[in-house]
Amino acid sequence: MTTTDMPRKADAGPGRSVSKKRPRGASSGGLRRAVPATTLLWILACLYGLPVLWFILSSFKPAGDLFSYPLTLVPHHPTLSGYLTAWRSANFSQYFINTTLVCVITTILTVGASCCTGYALAKYDNKWLKAFFICILATTMLPGEVMLAPEFLVVRNLGLYNSFAGIILPAVLTATGCFMFRQFFLTVPDELVEAARIDGARELSIFLRIMVPLSRPIMLTLAILSFQWRWNDYIWPLLMLNDPNKFTVQIGIQSIVGAQNINWSVLLGASVISMIPLIVIFLVFQRYVMGADINAGLKD
């Protein structure tokens, strides 16, 4: 839990990483060592990449070619028909809009609430704050799946059944988010807060005008993580939503899998479409995820 500054330290200077391991290898026999390491790396990478590649390439095959032997990696007659059918049929475009809406709202609320809580936990020293910190810790030990039935009843009693609010609100408090912001604000010097106080700034405006802008990178990291968790959520939306017009993408895909005869062409298209937003976000903001100070508190 004290790992905030660790990744930073690790890539602090290019000079450090050059002398990383086995310094003898650097000067002599670099190639001799590079060949087995690189080979092993790329064999593993192929094992991990191949399933996705096979899946994506298959999705461009016309329905009739999907099962024709011999199987070929690259489609002979690439087509978008699977995608088009998936997009048009079964309200898939509606699911896509619903999911985007839920993800965006949840993410904004999660980032806001986590930022506030993380700042309070890092910069104020009250007994009840420490107690609340332990409460947040407890939520990591108990995933929502454990309280499926009672949580459903609570949300129903609040009148949120079959509404987006019923999906959004229970997901806003995340221990991970609070941890990430707490760890970040601990690294911000207390003197900064003190100086602002002496200048007569009020507590909340110190937070809003100094601290919030400082924490922009953490916000982005948490936003990406939160968007991904909500986009991939399945069981909670499944329980909460009754109206097919409100379904999310994951429920849509699962309903294709659950059909008597799986329409693989549509299923492949729908699945690939559902991957696109996350992969695009990830590739654009890669460094915020890869260098993230994610640690112990991680949970969705």
Partner 1 sequence: MTKRAADVSVSPPRRRRSTYTLAPLVLIAANVVLFALFFVWPAVIGLVYSFTNYTGVGAFQFVGMDNYHNLFGDSAFYDALTRTLLYTVLFVPLNFALSLLIANVLVSKHAKGASVARVVFFIPWLLSPIVVGVLWRWLFGENFGLVNYVVEKFGGSAVPWQSNADLSLVVVVVAASWAWTGFSMLLFIAAIKNVPVSYYEAASLDGAGPWRQFISITLPSIAPTSFIVILLNTINAMKEYPLFVSLNNGGPGTSNNLLVQYIYQTGFQRGQIGYASAASFVLMLILMAVAIIQLVVNRRVENR
Enumerate residues 26-85 that contact partner 1 by CB under 8 A: 26, 30, 33-34, 36-38, 40-42, 44-45, 48-49, 51-52, 54-55, 58, 66-67, 69-71
Answer whether 60's CB lies under 8 Å from 75's CB.
yes
Instruction: Map the footprint of partner 1 across residues 139-198, applying CB under 8 A.
Output: 139, 141-143, 145-155, 158, 169-170, 172-173, 178, 190, 193-194, 197-198
> Is 207 a residue that touches partner 1 (CB under 8 A)?
yes
Is the Cβ of residue 187 or residue 286 nearer to partner 1 in the bound state? 286
Residue type, 19: S
Binder of partner 1 out of 123, 223, 226, 246 (CB under 8 A) = 123
Is the Cβ of residue 246 or residue 249 nearer to partner 1 in the bound state? 249
Cα 4 from Cα 44, distance rounded (Å): 30
> Is 131 a residue that touches partner 1 (CB under 8 A)?
no
| Smallest separation (angstroms) from partner 1 to the CB of 233 | 8
For residue 248, give the nearest of 64, 141, 94, 107 by alpha carbon.
Answer: 94
Which stretch of DSSP H or E encloses residue 116?
helix 92-123
Is the Cβ of residue 213 or residue 258 nearer to partner 1 in the bound state? 258
Two tokens at 136?
């947040």
Binder of partner 1 out of 19, 27, 260, 261 (CB under 8 A) = 19
Is the Cβ of residue 87 or residue 264 nearer to partner 1 in the bound state? 264
Cα 298 from Cα 168, distance rounded (Å): 19
> How would you class 287 by CB atoms within 10 Å of its CB: exposed for 0-12, middle for 13-18, buried for 19 or more?
exposed
Is the Cβ of residue 54 or residue 84 nearer to partner 1 in the bound state? 54
Give the total of residues touching partner 1 (CB under 8 A). 118
Cα 117 from Cα 238, distance rounded (Å): 30
Binder of partner 1 out of 80, 88, 97, 124 (CB under 8 A) = 124
Cα 246 from Cα 99, distance rounded (Å): 9
| Smallest separation (angstroms) from partner 1 to the CB of 113 | 5
What phi and psi, each to the nearest 5 degrees, are found at residue 171? -90, -5
Stretch that binds partner 1, among 74-82, 90-98, 108-116, 214-222 (CB under 8 A): 108-116
> How would you class 94 by CB atoms within 10 Å of its CB: exposed for 0-12, middle for 13-18, buried for 19 or more?
middle
Scanning 19-68, the segments in alpha helix (DSSP H) are 23-27, 30-58
Binder of partner 1 out of 126, 162, 187, 242 (CB under 8 A) = 126
Find the farthest-apart pair of alpha carbons in the chain and give their distance in angstroms, rounded. 77
Binder of partner 1 out of 103, 120, 180, 219 (CB under 8 A) = 120
| Smallest separation (angstroms) from partner 1 to the CB of 231 | 7
| Smallest separation (angstroms) from partner 1 to the CB of 223 | 15
| Smallest separation (angstroms) from partner 1 to the CB of 104 | 17
Answer whether 106's CB lies under 8 Å from 228's CB.
no
Other CB atoms within 10 Å distance of the CB of residue 75: 15
Instruction: Map the footprint of partner 1 across residues 235-294, applying CB under 8 A.
Output: 235, 239, 250, 253-254, 257-258, 264, 267-268, 271, 274-275, 278-279, 282-283, 286, 289-290, 292, 294
